[in-house]
Amino acid sequence: MSGSETGSEWREQWIVDGLEDSPRGRLARVELPSGRTRVLYLSELPEGVREGELLDVRGGVEGLRFTRLEAETRRRRAQAQARLEAINAASLSRDGPQRSHQQGLQDGGVQLTPDGEITL
């Protein structure tokens, strides 16, 4: 098990990737440190949990225990927003938004014709 382990207990941080309705109740899809996902009943998680939230998860003989990491979630969201704003500002400063979009497509390996069509 990844994360930290002490005796028979382990600890990880999971991210709430999505919340969904199902015939059997509300579900939460969580992303594990390995990148894999797991689906849990929303009722197993702390009340008020939302998509994108970081959870401290501890497992042991008593089962899984979840704690919302609200401050860390806010910090990560602020970092992600700052990165997004920096990317947007850089792309607007280079030859305007349309040229930046076309250049981004070309940089990703997609070639555009002069009229904006994708060449396969």
Predicted structure pTM score: 0.68
Q: How far is CA 46 from CA 19, 71, 96, in A?
A: 13, 15, 45
Enumerate the domain spans of the chain. Answer: 4-68, 72-108
Cα 67 to Cα 11, 48, 70, 89, 113, distances in angstroms: 11, 11, 9, 36, 51
- Please give the residue that has the higher pLDDT: either 14 or 6: 14
What pLDDT score was predicted for residue 69? Answer: 98
* Confidence category of residue 8, pLDDT binned at 50, 70, 90: confident
Q: Which CATH class is domain 4-68?
A: mainly beta
* 77-95 residue pLDDT tens: 999 898 888 888 887 776 5
pLDDT in tens, 43-76: 999 999 999 999 999 999 999 999 999 999 999 9
